[in-house]
Structure formats: C-alpha cells, structure tokens
Chain A
Amino acid sequence: MNRILNRLRPLPKLKEAILGMGYVTPVFFIMGALVVLPLISTIWDSFYNVNPMRAGTPFVGFDNYAKLLSDPNVQKSWTNTFIYVAITVILETVLGVGAALLLNKVKFGRSWLLAALILPWCLPPVVNAVVWMWIYNPSYGVLNGVLLSLGLIEENRVWFNDQFTALFLISIVHAWRMMPLTAIIILAALQAIPKDLYEAAKLDGAGPIKMFRKVTLPLISGGLAIALSQSTVFAFNLFDEAWILNGAGLDTRTVMIQVYMSAFQNLKFSYGMALSILAMLASLIVSAVYVLRIYRETRFD
C-alpha cells in the first residue's frame, strides 16, 4: 500500500523536468537531423562557393546574395512569384471560404461532397498539371472549345503567348489543387462555432452580412490565419505547375524553378542555396504579417 502511495506521489521538480526533456528528445533529434541541420548547412554553404566543376570551396561572404540582387533572371522570377502568390492566395481563400460556407449549410450528403471537394488535393501535382495542360492545349484544349462555343473568342488561342494570361492560368492550376485544404481548414473552424451564437445574433438584430462580418469571421480567424499562411508558403514554393505547363520559360519562371536551374543545371550550388534561403525568408515574413494582422484585427471587434 505504502509502496503504491510512494509511486503516486508527485515527482520532485527536477525529476519532472528531466522526464519532460526525455519525452521531447526524440522529436528534438528528428527535427534537428531533418530540418535544422540541413537548414544551417544551406545557410552556411550560401556564404561559400560550392561548385562540383571547380576545385575548392572558397569563402565568398555575401557575394552570392549581392549577385542575386543584380541578376535579371532572378528579379524576373521574384516578380513572377509575387504575382503567383497574390493570385493563388486570393483565389484559394475566396473559393475555399465560399466552399466551406456552402458545405456548412448542406445537411445531406455532406461527407460525399467533401470527398469530391478533396479530390484535386489528392492528385499528385504533376498529374494535376498534366490534366490542365490538356485543358489549356491551343489546338484541342477544352478551354478553347468552351470559349469558342460560347462565342467569347473567334479562333483558338495560344494561351501561353501572353505573360499575364500564362501567370493567371498557372495560378488557377495551383489554386485548384490547394483550395480544398483551405476549405477543410475553414470548414472545421465553422463547425466549431456553437449554433446558438448565430441564434443569439439573429435575435440581437444581425442580418446575413453582419452575421458573417461580426460573428463568423472573427470566430474563424484562427483557421483563416492557418489557411492563409499555408497557401502563401505553398505559393512561394510553386514549381510543378509552372514547370510542366511552360518549362523553364522566363515569363512563368518561379523562384523555385530559378533555384533548380542555378543549382542543378548551371551547377552553381551556393548561388541556388542563397536564393532558396531568401525565398524561405520571404514566405515566412509574408505569412507572419497577416497572421499578426488577423490576430490583432479580429480578437475584439
């Protein structure tokens, strides 16, 4: 009896702390090995000149970064990437929130609709891009077909001839694939809102628009911040869609494609690494900005 009681006694502070450390150690090592170490070594290498075709890895300081700033291809890829981010984040958020609101209203067969909605997200990015490549095909694509039959265009168009059309069409492909994730995150947030809050708001005098602005939106803001930051991060990392639909074309080149080309086609490893570090910082900063903004704006009205 006493032995059992002894064992049930709370641990002393120190022992408890050691136990806690014990629990987190495995995660600590896994994250360290798979995330932190590669990150550090990437940062480290970006200050050197690592090139398999040359002997030695001389220290070059911020040289790589300085060159990046003046490289016109890199500048172009940054502009493209920011355009992709803007279009896809807006598309994914508007469509995702809309889909979630609709699904939240549906009473019957919600799980089937949900399954259908998730489908594009389950497709491998490459497969998804190939499907859209057929849709956009200049000679037999569905897009031309539909627009022709609606009389909106008079002859088949080569969509990727115009840079902004191309950027927009590639954004659609990416948003189509990623929108389900936003929808699911928002749907979960919507379903966590107690029904009687809406009833209370109805009696308090809220119409549908005020209800959304004053009750729904603030209460899904947490989900919205998560959805926005994941859309942003994925948009900064956009690669497959642009690569498959338009290859290395400068008009549609993203920063990630630029990284790939610098590092693995031109074999300037350090140059690519420096660029990827910048891309990471950019996506972190952008998502941090609106996570904080949403947090501040919606906590209390």
Chain B
Amino acid sequence: MAKLEISNLTKNYGKVEVIKGVDLTVEDGEFVSLIGSSGCGKSTLLRMIAGLEDITSGSISIDGRVINDVEPKDRDIAMVFQNYALYPHLTVAENMGFSLHLRGVPKNEAKIAVEKVAETLGLTPYLDRAPKALSGGQRQRVAMGRAIVRNPRIFLFDEPLSNLDAKLRVQMRLEIKALQKRLGTTSIYVTHDQVEALTMSDRLVLLNGGQVEQIGTPMEVYKKPANIFVASFIGSPAMNLFDGILHRDVEQTFVTVHGNKILVPNCPKLTNGTKVKLGIRPEHLKYAATDSGNNIINMKVSMTETTGAETYAYGHFGDEAMTIKLNGEDAIKSGDKISLTVKTNLLHVFDYVTGIRINN
C-alpha cells in the first residue's frame, strides 16, 4: 500500500540535465507507465525512485514520507530489470527467496512463500534449476516472482518484456496486468512500446527530453493529446499533421488546408487567420462520397501495405505526406487519387509555433 509523490525532480550528470523538473503522483494501487523515446530519461527516473541514482534536486516521497536519502534496501521497493538480473549462482527458488533470506525470515516460512508465488507463476517445476537453464520467458517470470515474494510497497519495471518475442510479450503483458490488479501493488512500468503502455496502464506519463509532456489515462492521451509530441507519439501509424490557416465566422470555425475547408471543433482562444497545425489520425479518414465540399482530403496514393486485416496507404495531400489506415478488404493501389472525409469531433488543432493543443 503506497502512494508515491514526485515533485520538481531533477537529475544532472555533470552539466547534462537528464530529468528536468518532473511532477507526478501515483495513487495507491495504481499502474502507471512511463513512456517516451530512447534516451528521454525513463530509466533514470525509475532508478531514482528505486534509489539507484542520486537526486539532484526535488523530492520523492512514499505515503508522505520523503525518501530522498533513504537507502534502496530500506525503501521496500522491488524492481524487475530489463535483463532480469537473476543471481547466476542461485537456483530459481533461492533467487526468489533471496530478499527473505537477507531479512532473516525463517527458512521454512520463506520456502512456503516462494512456493506459493512459484505456483501462481507456473514456476513450480523449475524451482531447483539454475537461471541459465531457463528460457527467456521463464527467466522473466522468475524476476517477477522475486519481486512479488517480497510483497513490496511498490513495483518498478524497466522494459521487462523487451527481450521476449512478440507472442510471449502479449501473453506476459496480460499476466503482469492481471497479477498487478490482484495484488493491488502500486506499479510503475517503463516501456517504449506504446501498445504496452496503452493496454496495461491506468494512466501513462509521456516523457520527452526529461520533461513530462502529458499525464493521462490511455483514452485521454489518445483522444486529447496535449501537444504535437504526444499526438505523434501515441497512435500507430502516427497522426497526420497538416499546415493550415484558422478561420472563424459567426456560426463555424474551420481550417483551410491546400484550399480545402475543414470544419474543426471550437478553438476559443484563436483569432481569425492564425496559422495552425491540423491533426488527423490515419484511422479516422474514411472514403468520401464526393471529392469536394467541407472536410474533404484529396489524397494521391504512392504506396500501400497490407497486413491482411488492415491496409495502410501512404501518399500526399498537396505537398504534405500522409498515411491512412483502411480495412484490409479495401481495394487501393499506388497511383490512386482518392477523396477522404473526417468527422469534425475527431480533429485536433495545434498551435503552429508551440505545438500545444488548442481545441477542447
């Protein structure tokens, strides 16, 4: 049971600022993902929570108690490492029971705890093996088991699934999520896989260059990205962005893109004639009945890809590159000129300079 509060946290390596003032509150029992591109500081932030990295300034507290200067071993936090970090000289059972052993828990008590966790993870047949005699997925489970046996206040995961194959990743993703829900332990999960982040988390934190871009539920982040960075990071394929000019008259607000008039949601703060970026998700573009009128995008297709279930088409609207995601059945080929339409309430308008979301 633990509520984690991070306030104005920074981290410098020499002169390089790696974490630049992060604020985050993780509620008791919540599952929060840290997501962002490589090098944005996800692992660093996680390791600061664990106590493996010093804090340059700011504070981290658990249940109201500041833990900046508490030793990692006294924080009661368990971490699952990317390459598992299993002790090679210990058996699976000994690996899982290591922290209990260090704490002086009686042998038979520890044994029972280990066996119970091993049972839930399907590790019972492997308890006497050395880690090197296990497959990647099994090692991953042992690493999880080692964290669970301790019954810590917080779980930290640093890209725990990145070394597994795609199928196993999906399976483990579901298992971790189910386990976390059952145990109700506050969890922070680092990943750069947006599918993992979106499917597993109660909320996700988008990091970029050591700063938080947005914190929200998966739906909030998908439906209302706070800025262009989030908009293009979340969603696959990435959101299309077009340069346009905002117009407003008495009854409507619209953006003109390459001469086409696209009705957008209300943008209260902007004046007529402002330059904006218009965001449209590839999956929100549908075939239009006509090739002119409001909310029409004329696309010239230059390449297509299909996965069977879905077809992606790449091409241009005017001189700007764009992508659409269609049903796999849709017949489309390069060279096609197609007209697409999009619903006004699915559109995103961003400030041209700052990239901040303007419409509500």
A interface with B by C-beta (< 8 Å): 194, 196-197, 199-207, 210, 214-215, 218-219, 298-301
Contacts and interface: CB of A to CB of B under 8 A. Distances in A.
A204 B98 contact: yes
B322 interface: no
Nearest to B50: A203
B102 A210 contact: yes
B192 to A, nearest CB: 19
25 contacts: A196-B83, A197-B85, A197-B87, A199-B50, A199-B52, A199-B72, A200-B81, A201-B87, A202-B71, A203-B51, A203-B52, A203-B73, A203-B78, A204-B99, A204-B146, A205-B73, A205-B99, A205-B102, A206-B102, A214-B102, A298-B89, A299-B89, A300-B90, A300-B91, A301-B94
Given A210-B102, A300-B94, A203 B79 contact: yes
B99 A202 contact: no
B79 A200 contact: yes
Given A204-B73, A205-B73, A215-B87, A199 B81 contact: yes
A136 B85 CA distance: 50
A129 to B, nearest CB: 40
B103 interface: yes
Contacts of B52: 199, 202-203
Contacts, number: 64
A141 to B, nearest CB: 47
B89 A300 contact: yes
Contact of A194 (B79, B85, B146, B150): B85
A45 to B, nearest CB: 46
Given A202-B52, A202-B71, A299-B89, 6 more contacts: A196-B83, A199-B50, A203-B51, A205-B103, A206-B102, A219-B89
B220 to A, nearest CB: 32
Closest A-B pairs by Cβ, 9 of them = A204-B99, A200-B85, A196-B85, A218-B89, A205-B73, A202-B72, A205-B102, A196-B81, A204-B98
Interface residues of B, number: 26
Contacts of B71: 202
Interface of B: 50-52, 71-73, 75, 77-79, 81, 83, 85-91, 94, 98-99, 102-103, 146, 150
A203 to B, nearest CB: 5
Nearest to A215: B87
Instruction: Give the one of A203, A207, A299 with max B CB within 10 A.
Output: A203
Nearest to B74: A205
A157 B91 CA distance: 57
Contacts of A214: 98, 102
Contacts of A298: 89
A172 B103 CA distance: 41
A60 B103 CA distance: 65
B73 A301 contact: no
A199 B146 CA distance: 14
Nearest to B79: A203
A202 B79 CA distance: 10
B185 to A, nearest CB: 14
A238 to B, nearest CB: 34
A230 B324 CA distance: 69
A218 B88 CA distance: 10
